[in-house]
């Protein structure tokens, strides 16, 4: 198995016999899917242990790591999802569950900062609700893969402020930089948000320590989250990223897809805004994101 540490035929047979014994222990599982998943998991875990010839001290370190991940996890902090994110597993699950379909917009990682029941805004309103950052006019359309508009699509948007914090990380419990709106009768939408800025994933726990040990940065490329749903269509969870952001190449959770990188155009404070809003001498930006939903069930 391992080229650095070849084992004798007898030793290899012992190891393989153990795998078959463990796999067979699940043969009686009445739920076929559960049986398939667990037997495959056992085969892959054993292959991993054999391939790296996992030491007992290393096994202990892994147990300590998982224990620490459990200790820091509560209803607000989910270290196991974070671990899945930095190992690229979350993005692989996204890929497997959102198969490429025609010109449908690509999905990306959900992340831990979505909140149900974010306030509703009307077209052109501001989802920042006082969060600090450069105002950004965001507009686009929601269409099906044939190009027909989808009116009434529910569009959830959320993002970090310019200091890199989501509202759920504030200590005063206020809601900011998140909202939902509905596409209009032409399938179009528009709102004010914030120009996205980079921020680190939570890195004060075991996952952060692991990243540090391997010289990896916890930073995410600047992004604005979207979740778009409409009856008869596959719900799309995605982000847009900022063209030119140097972190696009090394997003800590592997969420970047080229098709999701869009232009954010900078405007001086003296330039008129698309809707005539007075930004009180603040510079602003604008972007466009045209969304294409795949049909449900593909």
Q: Which residues bind ligand BEZ (CB under 6 A)?
A: 82, 85, 109, 111-113, 201, 220, 253
Q: How far is the CB of 193 from ligand BEZ (least distance, A)?
A: 15
Q: How far is the CB of 285 from ligand BEZ (least distance, A)?
A: 20
Partner whose footprint covers residue 253, from Fe ion, ligand BEZ, none (CB < 5 to 8 Å by kind)? ligand BEZ
Q: Which is nearer to Fe ion, 85 or 144 (CB)?
A: 85
Q: How far is the CB of 68 from ligand BEZ (least distance, A)?
A: 18
Phi first, then psi: what are they for 235, rounded to 5°?
A: -65, 130
Partner whose footprint covers residue 201, from Fe ion, ligand BEZ, none (CB < 5 to 8 Å by kind)? ligand BEZ
**In angstroms, rounded to a whole number, what is the distance separating the alpha carbons of residues 42 and 100?**
30
Cα of first residue to Cα of last residue in the chain, in angstroms, is 39
The first and second tokens of residue 84, run together, are 């899945």
Q: What does the DSSP 8-state code read for residue 207? A: H
Q: By C-alpha distance, which of 285, 249, 243, 282 is closest to 265? A: 285
Our CA angle for 160, 216, 212, nearest 5°, is: 100
Q: Which of 84, 91, 111, 238 binds Fe ion (CB under 5 A)?
A: 111
**In angstroms, rounded to a whole number, what is the distance separating the alpha carbons of residues 276 and 273?**
5
Q: How far is the CB of 220 from Fe ion (least distance, A)?
A: 6
Q: By C-alpha distance, which of 141, 74, 162 is closest to 112? A: 74
Our CA angle for 154, 155, 156, nearest 5°, is: 120
Stretch that binds Fe ion, among 32-40, 107-115, 188-196, 210-218 (CB under 5 A): 107-115
**In angstroms, rounded to a whole number, what is the distance separating the alpha carbons of residues 198 and 247?**
8
Partner whose footprint covers residue 112, from ligand BEZ, Fe ion, none (CB < 5 to 8 Å by kind)? ligand BEZ
Stretch that binds Fe ion, among 67-75, 111-119, 142-150, 253-261 (CB under 5 A): 111-119
Q: Which is nearer to ligand BEZ, 155 or 201 (CB)?
A: 201
Q: Which is nearer to ligand BEZ, 110 or 189 (CB)?
A: 110
**3-state SS record for 261-277:** EECCEEECCCCCCCCCC
Q: How far is the CB of 212 from ligand BEZ (least distance, A)?
A: 16
Q: How far is the CB of 111 from ligand BEZ (least distance, A)?
A: 3
Q: Which is nearer to Fe ion, 240 or 294 (CB)?
A: 240
Q: How far is the CB of 162 from ligand BEZ (least distance, A)?
A: 15
CB atoms within 10 A of CB 73: 15
The first and second tokens of residue 240, run together, are 């847009």
**In angstroms, rounded to a whole number, what is the distance separating the alpha carbons of residues 205 and 85?**
14
Q: Which is nearer to ligand BEZ, 113 or 182 (CB)?
A: 113
Q: Which is nearer to Fe ion, 42 or 176 (CB)?
A: 176
List residues near Fe ion by CB under 5 A: 111
């Amino acid at each position: 198995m391992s080229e650095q540490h070849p084992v004798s035929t007898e030793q290899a047979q012992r190891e393989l016999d153990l795998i078959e014994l463990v796999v067979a222990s699940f043969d009686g599982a009445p739920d076929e899917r559960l049986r398939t998943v667990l037997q495959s998991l056992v085969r892959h875990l054993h292959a991993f242990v054999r391939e790296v010839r996992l030491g007992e001290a290393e096994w202990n370190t892994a147990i300590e790591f998982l224990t620490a991940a459990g200790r820091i996890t509560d209803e607000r902090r989910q270290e196991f999802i974070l671990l899945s994110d930095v190992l690229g597993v979350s993005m692989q699950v996204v890929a497997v569950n959102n198969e490429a379909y025609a010109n449908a917009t690509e999905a990306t990682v959900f992340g831990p900062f979505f909140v149900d029941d974010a306030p509703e805004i009307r077209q052109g309103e501001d989802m920042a609700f006082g969060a600090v950052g450069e105002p950004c006019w965001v507009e686009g359309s929601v269409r099906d893969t044939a190009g027909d508009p989808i009116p009434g699509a529910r569009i959830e948007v959320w993002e970090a402020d310019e200091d890199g914090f989501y509202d759920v990380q504030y200590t005063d419990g206020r809601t900011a930089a998140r909202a939902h709106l509905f596409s209009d009768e032409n399938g179009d939408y528009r709102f004010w948000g914030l120009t996205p800025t980079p921020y680190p994933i939570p890195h004060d726990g075991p996952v952060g320590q692991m990243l540090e040990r391997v010289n990896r940065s916890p930073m995410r490329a600047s992004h604005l989250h979207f979740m778009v749903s409409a009856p008869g269509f596959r719900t799309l969870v995605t982000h847009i990223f900022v063209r030119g952001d140097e972190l696009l190449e090394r997003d800590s959770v592997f969420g970047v897809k080229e098709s999701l990188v869009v232009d954010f155009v900078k405007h001086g404070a003296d330039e008129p805004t698309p809707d005539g809003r007075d930004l009180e001498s603040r510079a602003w930006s604008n972007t466009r994101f045209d969304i294409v939903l795949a049909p449900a069930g593909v």
